[in-house]
Amino acid sequence: MLPGKKGWATIKITVFFLSLMPFGLLVKGVINDELGANPIETLHFGFGDWALRFLCIGLALTPIKTITGQSWPIRFRRMMGLFAFFYASLHLLVFIVLDLSLSWEAFKDEVPKSPYILMGLLTFLLLVPLAATSTKKMQKRLGRNWLKLQRLVYVAGLTALVHFFWLVKSDYTEPLIYATVISILLGIRIAVYCRRTAKLFSL
């Protein structure tokens, strides 16, 4: 039996604070000097990892609905998407503020030499319109175009993977795990789309 309105509110609040825990732990690490020899790099990679993880969680909710036949996972899709954007924003902020010290000259000098930074910036730019149009008001205003816009999340998932692969210089284990997860999630969506298309043509 699914929870009632108050039950869902409690669950959403719990999920919200659990989603904030990585941020809190990283900030605690900064305050207590627990982030190792290179705290800026640890902070930078930590926020980036969590941005990709929440992106994967958001992509997983519709396949979970498809497999289980339950609609409740969709209730958390917007929250997971916004947390992906939140951690991606922090990932970028650490790079600009702590790595480059807010230097425009350093930014212009560093970015053209680093394709992975360009891919990371592209991923962030893809997430911006998704976050900006995440409200119900924007959903109603955009109508069917809102659904088309939301497909940018698939592109963002792929560009985030490329960003990660280009960033890693030796051990590709972690990006390969993310690539496998995203490939499975997108594969399920493609399979569902093909099945629906086949049914339409068979009518």
pLDDT of residue 194: 84
* Token pair recorded at residue 32: 């207590």
Residue 34 three-state SS = coil
Q: What are the pLDDT digits (tens) for 17-28?
A: 999 999 999 999
Percentage of the chain with pLDDT > 70? 97
Kindly report the pTM of this predicted structure.
Answer: 0.91
List all residues 6 or more positions away from 83 whose beta carbon is below 8 Å from its beta carbon.
Answer: 19, 50, 54
Q: What are the pLDDT digits (tens) for 28-67?
A: 999 998 988 899 999 999 999 999 999 999 999 988 988 8
Residue 143 three-state SS = coil
